[in-house]
Structure 1
Amino acid sequence: MALFVMIIRKMVQNKWLVFSLLIGILMSVALVSSMPIYSEGILSRMLKKDLERSQQSSNQYPGAVYSTMHFTEKPERFNGMFDRYDTFIKTEGAPGFQLPIQELVNDMASSSLRMKRADDPEPITDRNSQAVTVKTFSDLEKHIKLKDGKMASSSPVDGVYEVLVTERALAQFKTVLNTEFLVQSDKMAGPVKFKPVGVFEKLEDDDPYFRYGNLSDMSTSFILPYETGKQLLLHDQSIPLASAGWFLVMDYTKMEFKHVDAYLNTHDQMRQSLLRIVSLYQMKVDATAYDTIDYYLFRAANLNLLMWALNVPVLIMLAFYMFMVANLIASRQKSEIAVLRSRGAARWQVIAAYLVEGILLCGIALLIGPFLGGGLTRVLGASNGFMEFVQRVNIPIRITEESFLYGTYAAAACLIIILIPIIIATRVSIVDHKQQMARLVRTPIWHKLFLDVIALGLALYGLYSFKNRLKDLQSLGLNTTDLNIDPLQFIVPALFIMGGGLLLLRLYPWILRLVYWIGKKWWPPSIYATLIQVGRSSSQYQFLMIFLIMTIATGVFSASAARTINLNSEDRIQYGNGADVVLNVNWINDAPPPQSIGGGPGGGGDSTPIPRRVNYLEPPFEPYLNLPGVEYGAKVFTKQKAFYTFNKDSAEVTLMGIETDQFGMTTWFRDSLLDYPLNDYLNLMAAESDAVLISSTLAEQKKVKAGDTIWIGWEGVTQQPFRVFGVIDYFPTFNPLPTRGIDSSVGVGKTPLLIVGHLSRIQLQLAMEPYQIWLKLKPDASTAELYKGIEENKLAISKITNTKEDLILAKNDPFLLALNGILTLGFVISLLVSFIGFLLYWVLSLRGRTLQNGILRAIGLSVGNLIAMLAVEQVLTSGVAVLLGIIVGNLASLLYVPNFQIVFNPSSLVPPFLVQIDPSDMVRIYWMVGIMLTIGIGILAYMLSRLRIHQALKLGED
């Protein structure tokens, strides 16, 4: 107890140091514990988006699970089989999914039966009978409304069972309500009478209660009330039962990442339970979202791996921060530790005292950290881009056991880091401590072990490996799943940053000596003393400088990576679409209607052959230019399967026909893709009507060059001569990368080939065929007004490609949101940690140099001179470290940001990745550095102004 009281008093006496250390531990725990919170939240959002897209594409409700059993066993076993599975569904199946249950529908259906009108005295034959199925559904009356008639009675009326039918069934049976029918089968003991008394329809059109979304599966059925149907079909077995099904409808919008395992496990349990009751071919479990979730798990694994890989630089930076702070505290308390050891305290006692102090601080951080991490996750969930936040639906935030577990790991790591300098310090006696203080110039351990060279070597090898892998992916037209991409590719930037920073610090003392030597005759006393102080005590600043270099470089790299991913994603969409809006227009033509199978009514060969050439009537172009918000428009003809001939060599190419002037004003294109601006190439071919541009893939593979004459045409069209005026690598919508791998028959990659010519020449000499209309909208144009204008003008459009909508969809993609959130997090952490580490270091350093500053004041230096010395010292250490961090960060961005294209499909990544370093991000860093230095100097100046000379000198005497 006495030891605990002593520790508390010690912490109170050093409250500034303890508070600074607590901030560092709390921040580390909060950030590490936020990783699983953010990961689960963003994965939950991604799952929801995947399910929504699945519903839009398949028109099936993703929250539905249907299990069915077909009864082919002995009828006396039906009740037991039904009850066993019905009990399982209600007690284990439905609750096992852990989602809100909207509906649990049980349906039963009879085998196909024969029926005739009850007033028909003739026996049942094919002529006077119809096929009918008797069905029943639980809670059907809550989801339907009567269109005609009344609801069916739950008990027979005068020996006749009342049923409901759909309007289509009424027409199918060619009858009216209240007509009695006699239903019988070889498997029935006797005939049963039914009478349709009501026609029903769905109460709500989008009600997920109905399995297929419509009532088409009831078009040949009589629908009995549930209890009546269950009695007839199952218990009494008056009607042969063919199948029973359980339709489970859950609220899939509440599904989160935590529910995935429960969903898959429950689905498997339902299959196993059914399999135990009936044989494999008699059962079926159909989960609408199963395939989506299965694919989601693949995406989630990749995303989770990528997110943690992106966090590695931040985690390394935090670990270095904690080590720097712990080392500063240990250095300050080495004298105290040495005194305790000299007075008889055992090493374990000293370590135990600091261990208890560390446990207290880590325990406090562990209690608060996960909740602070949850708050940080909520803010990052609103990211709309790098350092951009919008109001959107919050990602689900859940403080889980996993977040506390990660927080515990972080707290334990912090505790170990705190104790390492203490353990080292307990091995040093007072004499050793004084000797170490006298040896100001010491070679750091990382320089002795050449860790900088090793880290740079590993980083450069990782870069080389990535380049080779990417080259294989693009040359073979493979996807990222075709090769095993090493996640370490995203970790090597941290190695490069660390190795580059350490290498520059190895060279920095020589630069300081050069600066000192150049101006030693002119330096004023403050700068002269500072240069000597920094030069002779360079190892003292190593921790601070490498820390600042890593944090600033990590921030620059995160900023550049986020900007690059966002802008390149936008460029890829705009390049692939070609313009703001692309319209596919229906042209009037003389093409015959499609023939029926068999070649016509006669089924022989007398059918009229389809003409080899279809004639089209070109629609007017002006109405499209007059649509609301349209600034420019262009006609763009694309023929995918055209052919060219050159020197008896022929190949399939993509032919594009354009009007150069309108095309240049309408299309989007990144000019850096070509040697000259795109408009220069368009102007080059504008002078001659037979001029064409060809892709570099065509020029390289077929040895075609500018000035050559090539022949172009397509099936049914005679080839005509054109002259090559230029060779281009890229053109709007053209992907020069192979997409189908290697053609094994010829051993040559199937690389796309492109020819661009004048539309008028193509229409005149080749053929008039439909073209697309590309539109460029005004900056303030409204898409809704454009669509309204199309509707009002009754324009015959078969397809609209809206680039703005595609950009919004891409920006809201959870995968991109996760990248933006993590990289924004890394950038913010870098700025915050830099400031805290900088301030903490200088406050502790200044307090440790109280005697030295007191002596300087005693010999005549003013407070202003001391502040000037500290300012120069900060510029030579912190300022230089920030500058080196910016240099290393930019270099790392240029080398390693292209690694992120492996996240996308490299075979479709056109235009190529362009590293973006936004000046606004640099401005943020400059502002941060300026504020950091200003606040730091202000605090230090305040502390120096409070310095009392006699206290400092008396401290030296003690």
Structure 2
Amino acid sequence: MAIFTVFWMVFKQILKNWRLEIVLLAGLVLAVAISSCIPIYTDGVLQTVMLERWQRSSSSNYPPGTIQISDEQWYDYHPLLSENQWRDREEAYEQYLQLDKILQKSVPEVFGTEVLHFSKTGRTDRKPVLPLDPLEETRNRYMDFAFLTGLEERVDLVSGRWFTNDIPLAGEPIEVVIDENASYDLNLNLDKIYRFPLETGKYEERKYLDFKVVGIFRVKKDDYNQPVWVERPPFNNTFFIAEEVFENLIKRDDTSPYKYTWFWNMDYEPVRYHQLDHIIGKFKRLETEIRNISNTIRINQSSILSLEPLIEQGAALKKLLLILSLPVLGMIFYYIILTASLTIKRRSNEIALLRSRGGSIFQIVVTYLLEWGFLGLFAIFAGPQLGLLIARLMGASAGFLDFVSREPLPVIIPPDAHHYIFLTIAAALGSCLFLVVPAAGESIVSYKQKIARENRKPFWQRYYLDVFFLIFSIYGYRELSKQIVNLQNGASAGSQHILDPMLFLIPVLFLATAGLISLRVMPWLIRFFSFFVEQLPEVSLTVTLRQFFRNSGQYSPLIFFIIMTVSLGIYSSSIARTLEQNFIDSLMYEHGADVVLTEKWHFDTPTYTAEGQLVSSDKEVIFEPPFHIHKELSGVKNAARVLTRRGNISIGGRNLANGTLMAIDPVDFAHVSWFRDDLTEQHLYYYLNLLIDYEDAVLVNREFFEKNQLKLGETVSFRIGFNAIDFFVAGVIDYWPTIYPSSFPLLVANLDFVQAQYIIEPYNVWLSLEEDASLQAIVDELTEEGIYVTNIKDVRNRLVEGRRNPERMGIFGILSISFAVAVLITVMGFFLYNFLSLRKRMLEFGVMRAIGLSISQLVTILSLEQFLTVSFGFGLGTLFGVIVSQIFLPFLQVSQNLEGVVPGFRIVIQRSDIGNILIILGISLIIGLLILAFILIKLKLHEAIKLGEEV
């Protein structure tokens, strides 16, 4: 009965404090959703990758669920006895039975899905067969004996009948059936007897095994190309016999089995990514087991092992996303702890009374455990459902806070998500219960004494935790710098590094430290400004600043929330936008334009005889496609001709180096090419104008220019084959679209001038497209005009493929979701603070009304408080976010091996992101002020003051 009393008391407490309980529940649900979305997203995105990779490594004949295993016994003989001496036939047969039993039991358990088809076969060595009838045609016929399970269901008898399963008596021929292709090709006739040579010693008389063709079959048309064949038809060299007859045959000492093969086609679609590790582990254990039985095992078809790298990729992805989500999880936990502390604070008097009346600390803690355990139980069910939605949003991310319409990820709640869920709930409830213990230790006397010291400094200020965090942050920065130096020295060219978790943890620690130090300094700054404000006649601002100075502790949690939200939002958006922009820049520089077309210029020359007959010719004619057509295509903004050739560069007849010549039309190139302004000293148009003004001008890369001590106006020759073209140096460039340092030295010249000096050679066509242009329509239109495209480089497809990368989607998705959740809990904290602050200060506002302050003055005081809180938090958050981005984002280029990549790495801090944060906080501020004003207007003096106590 006592336990029901406890549950009833807990239930009443939940109803009594339902507002705070809902707020706490929201925090628990968000924490579970964020933590569970990591394994949910990883399983969903790698499920898609797994199926795509599995299908690519398979074929129509051997789909992804195929496993084919062979035991090639012809490899296994006893060389000590004789080169051709096989081991004991009974031993070989027992080995086959053992393998067959293990494989048929264990292989279907590897996937644990439906077996769509199973078959097995065994065959002997292939040998020449002879007709029994000496009058029948003798020709080379090489055949083998085999059995194939399920053959009857896949073929139709053309003539004759099926063999019997009975073992023939001594002297009787073995009944066989053959493919009609074997009947035609080898002239094997129905009801005829043929002889199969047996194994004999070197000096023994030849022995034969007689067999009779009793049936001829044809493979069913519908089954011919289906993935049901352990060996593909047609069967031109095989006599099929019953399995029982085959087993009896291979026990003889004068026959030798060639191999056995088992074939499974299993339903692979239900297989989930989280099962992959278990499946591969079972398959490897099975492989070890069967290889211990036979050393001639061959696994011919099993693409499942090609997916093993995905296991490591998934573990790394989960680790990365967990690291990126830690800051927002920390903020959610801070929010949960703050809400729990407010709940405990409101009920501290009740707790003290329970202790004074004999209640133990354990009983009080258990009561709160039951109360919050109910909330945690609800969060366990609701949180993962929200996590599914978050994972789908992450799968649709294309950038920071940028989501596109994309096929939803096939997400489920994988088993490992429950580990995240229960660990999150346990950590959250443990943190909350940790706050209950000190409160449960208070007696009614000590509680009243504690109230008297309510305005003392918070724990972290009394023990200088902010200073400790500052020291640890500086140490982390130094360690990160050392780690980056090691990467610089040890990273191999072209290697890819996943985003270093330290690039997120150390900056977040810096931001938290800066926020705490700001809160320590804030009261003294306010006190400084209050000296000037006190001279003003308006009382509202004076009261506001005094309230801030005397009770700064009650504003600190909300200000810290805002600082962390704004600064983390700026840093997160800077990471995402920096990665995205540099990815786009690298692709655009590599391609040079939206689309690059290579077209067919070489055509065979028709040759005619004296009689006018057309004959083939090896001669080719070069035909330049009409260029103007490209500019008239639908969806094309502009087009440019670009010729790139390798050749020898010389000055005054002295060969200097092999280099690259890019010949362009400067006017068209200006409208088509992509080029970043910071890659050269002058704007791109400056260099193109030089080529327009002087037809024989050339632009030279700086390294070549300085190495050979060239001067502007000096003549440079470029030789292609036996032809040399002279240019004069008009400008010096550092980089140029599509040209990397490995292709230097570089000369950029006028295409018309080069074509006038040299033969017309095939060039590429660069296109600038409208946003919704169809490349296929452009190619079709060119084909109709007689222009045939042989190669296409489409930067848009590369961008789409890059944005679908699991790591990239995960990074952008978790950063976007984390920012949105951080803003959400900040807004929730803002409204929670306003509500509790107003309830707590009812007496204070009543006294102010009693001494003559108007409602408008009270609203002004509260408005100033809220404005100062939001402004202080937003201003410091913006400052810290920008500073940390400038300090830590340069490390990103080394962590991802982007140092030295062309074009150079640049940091992107988007002002619009800061503006969006300001708009969200501004709207929250306005709504909060309207609610407060409404409550204050309804406030009546007798409701606020009752014998000098708060209501």
* TM-score normalised per structure 2: 0.84
Match of 1:728 among 711, 714, 733: 733
**Structure-2 residue corresponding to 1:43:** 46
Match of 1:302 among 316, 320, 343: 316
**Structure-1 residue corresponding to 2:73:** 71
Sort the Cα spacing of 1:380 and 1:219 in 2 relative to 1 into closer, same or farther, 3 A.
same
Sort the Cα spacing of 1:874 and 1:811 in 2 relative to 1 into closer, same or farther, 3 A.
same
1:436 equivalenced with 2:453 (yes/no): yes
Match of 2:819 among 827, 842, 846: 827
- Letter of the 1:86 partner, please give it: D
Tell me the distance in 2 between the aligned counterparts of 1:525 and 1:90.
Answer: 89
- Letter of the 1:65 partner, please give it: I
Sort the Cα spacing of 1:704 and 1:848 in 2 relative to 1 into closer, same or farther, 3 A.
farther
1:949 equivalenced with 2:949 (yes/no): no
Alpha-carbon shift at residue 844 of structure 1 (Å): 1.8
Alpha-carbon shift at residue 70 of structure 1 (Å): 0.7
Is contact 1:165–1:222 with CA below 8 Å preserved after alignment? no
Q: Deviations over 1:590-638 (max 9, x none)?
A: 99xxxxxxxxxxxxxxxxxxx9xx9972432335555553343333223
Q: Deviations over 1:197-226 (max 9, x none)?
A: 4554863787444579x76xx575337377
**Structure-2 residue corresponding to 1:468:** 485
**Structure-1 residue corresponding to 2:676:** 670
Q: Deviations over 1:395-435 (max 9, x none)?
A: 23333443233222212221222133333445662453133
Tell me the distance in 2 between the aligned counterparts of 1:374 and 1:766.
Answer: 63
* Secondary structure in structure 1 of the residue aligned to 2:798: helix
Which segment is superposed worse, 790-799 or 834-843? Answer: 790-799
- Percent pairwise identity: 28
Alpha-carbon shift at residue 524 of structure 1 (Å): 2.0
* Secondary structure in structure 2 of the residue aligned to 1:203: helix
Sort the Cα spacing of 1:234 and 1:104 in 2 relative to 1 into closer, same or farther, 3 A.
farther
1:129 equivalenced with 2:146 (yes/no): no
Sort the Cα spacing of 1:151 and 1:954 in 2 relative to 1 into closer, same or farther, 3 A.
farther
**Structure-2 residue corresponding to 1:932:** 924
Is contact 1:37–1:377 with CA below 8 Å preserved after alignment? yes
Question: Where do 5+ consecutive residues of structure 1 fail to align?
Answer: 592-610, 737-749
1:85 equivalenced with 2:94 (yes/no): no
**Structure-1 residue corresponding to 2:863:** 871
- Letter of the 2:738 partner, please give it: T
**Structure-2 residue corresponding to 1:746:** none
* Secondary structure in structure 2 of the residue aligned to 1:956: coil
Which segment is superposed worse, 2-11 or 496-505? Answer: 2-11
Which segment is superposed worse, 286-295 or 488-497? Answer: 286-295
Alpha-carbon shift at residue 242 of structure 1 (Å): 0.8
Is contact 1:440–1:537 with CA below 8 Å preserved after alignment? no
* Secondary structure in structure 1 of the residue aligned to 2:209: coil
1:799 equivalenced with 2:813 (yes/no): no
Is contact 1:459–1:496 with CA below 8 Å preserved after alignment? no
Is contact 1:581–1:775 with CA below 8 Å preserved after alignment? yes
Alpha-carbon shift at residue 98 of structure 1 (Å): 2.8
Tell me the distance in 1 between the aligned counterparts of 2:882 and 2:855.
Answer: 38
Question: What are the residue-to-residue correspondences of 1:233-632 with 2, within 5 Å?
Answer: 240-279=256-295, 282-290=296-304, 292-338=306-352, 346-426=360-440, 429-430=446-447, 432-437=449-454, 439=456, 444-445=461-462, 447=464, 449-451=466-468, 453-454=470-471, 456-458=473-475, 460-461=477-478, 464-465=481-482, 468=485, 471-472=488-489, 477-480=493-496, 487-522=501-536, 524-588=538-602, 617-622=622-627, 624-625=630-631, 627-632=633-638
Tell me the distance in 2 between the aligned counterparts of 1:549 and 1:401.
Answer: 36
- How large is the Cα RMSD of the aligned pairs? 4.0
Tell me the distance in 2 between the aligned counterparts of 1:441 and 1:94.
Answer: 63
Is contact 1:97–1:262 with CA below 8 Å preserved after alignment? no
Tell me the distance in 1 between the aligned counterparts of 2:238 and 2:708.
Answer: 70
* Secondary structure in structure 2 of the residue aligned to 1:270: helix
Tell me the distance in 2 between the aligned counterparts of 1:881 and 1:919.
Answer: 17
Q: Deviations over 1:10-55 (max 9, x none)?
A: 3332222222222222322232233222222223223223334545
Which segment is superposed worse, 437-446 or 918-927? Answer: 437-446
Tell me the distance in 1 between the aligned counterparts of 2:403 and 2:241.
Answer: 54
Which segment is superposed worse, 348-357 or 828-837? Answer: 348-357
Alpha-carbon shift at residue 553 of structure 1 (Å): 2.3
Is contact 2:230–2:262 with CA below 8 Å preserved after alignment? no
Alpha-carbon shift at residue 835 of structure 1 (Å): 1.2
- Letter of the 1:938 partner, please give it: L
Sort the Cα spacing of 1:823 and 1:862 in 2 relative to 1 into closer, same or farther, 3 A.
same
Tell me the distance in 1 between the aligned counterparts of 2:655 and 2:434.
Answer: 74
1:112 equivalenced with 2:126 (yes/no): yes
* Secondary structure in structure 2 of the residue aligned to 1:479: coil
Sort the Cα spacing of 1:772 and 1:99 in 2 relative to 1 into closer, same or farther, 3 A.
farther
Sort the Cα spacing of 1:91 and 1:488 in 2 relative to 1 into closer, same or farther, 3 A.
same
- Letter of the 1:773 partner, please give it: V
Tell me the distance in 2 between the aligned counterparts of 1:181 and 1:793.
Answer: 67
Is contact 2:190–2:213 with CA below 8 Å preserved after alignment? no
Match of 1:184 among 160, 176, 196: 196
Which segment is superposed worse, 151-160 or 870-879? Answer: 151-160
Tell me the distance in 1 between the aligned counterparts of 2:897 and 2:380.
Answer: 41
Which segment is superposed worse, 898-907 or 941-950? Answer: 898-907
Tell me the distance in 1 between the aligned counterparts of 2:541 and 2:674.
Answer: 55
- Letter of the 1:184 partner, please give it: F
- Letter of the 2:570 partner, please give it: V
- Letter of the 2:688 partner, please give it: L
* Secondary structure in structure 2 of the residue aligned to 1:450: helix
- Letter of the 2:669 partner, please give it: F
Tell me the distance in 2 between the aligned counterparts of 1:226 and 1:809.
Answer: 53
Alpha-carbon shift at residue 165 of structure 1 (Å): 5.4
Is contact 2:71–2:260 with CA below 8 Å preserved after alignment? yes
**Structure-1 residue corresponding to 2:19:** 16
Which segment is superposed worse, 72-81 or 268-277? Answer: 72-81
- Letter of the 1:533 partner, please give it: Q
- Letter of the 2:325 partner, please give it: N
* Secondary structure in structure 2 of the residue aligned to 1:444: helix
Is contact 2:680–2:733 with CA below 8 Å preserved after alignment? yes
Alpha-carbon shift at residue 261 of structure 1 (Å): 1.4
Sort the Cα spacing of 1:226 and 1:718 in 2 relative to 1 into closer, same or farther, 3 A.
farther
**Structure-2 residue corresponding to 1:603:** none
Count of aligned residue pairs for this structure pair:
905
Is contact 2:647–2:718 with CA below 8 Å preserved after alignment? yes
Alpha-carbon shift at residue 875 of structure 1 (Å): 0.9
Match of 2:694 among 668, 688, 692: 688
Tell me the distance in 1 between the aligned counterparts of 2:153 and 2:892.
Answer: 53
Tell me the distance in 2 between the aligned counterparts of 1:500 and 1:421.
Answer: 26
Tell me the distance in 1 between the aligned counterparts of 2:318 and 2:460.
Answer: 40
The structure whose Rg is larger is 2
Tell me the distance in 1 between the aligned counterparts of 2:156 and 2:790.
Answer: 37
* Secondary structure in structure 1 of the residue aligned to 2:641: strand
Match of 1:153 among 152, 158, 162: 162
- Letter of the 1:820 partner, please give it: F
Is contact 1:633–1:776 with CA below 8 Å preserved after alignment? yes
- Letter of the 1:70 partner, please give it: E
Alpha-carbon shift at residue 306 of structure 1 (Å): 1.7
Tell me the distance in 2 between the aligned counterparts of 1:204 and 1:784.
Answer: 36
Q: Deviations over 1:675-715 (max 9, x none)?
A: 3332332222333344333344545666666555444336x
Question: Where do 5+ consecutive residues of structure 2 fail to align?
Answer: 75-86, 166-171, 200-206, 606-617
- Letter of the 1:859 partner, please give it: I
Tell me the distance in 1 between the aligned counterparts of 2:394 and 2:97.
Answer: 50
Is contact 2:499–2:895 with CA below 8 Å preserved after alignment? no
Alpha-carbon shift at residue 672 of structure 1 (Å): 4.0
Sort the Cα spacing of 1:198 and 1:441 in 2 relative to 1 into closer, same or farther, 3 A.
closer
Is contact 1:636–1:773 with CA below 8 Å preserved after alignment? yes
Sort the Cα spacing of 1:244 and 1:855 in 2 relative to 1 into closer, same or farther, 3 A.
same
Tell me the distance in 2 between the aligned counterparts of 1:487 and 1:825.
Answer: 18
Is contact 2:72–2:297 with CA below 8 Å preserved after alignment? yes
Tell me the distance in 2 between the aligned counterparts of 1:211 and 1:754.
Answer: 58
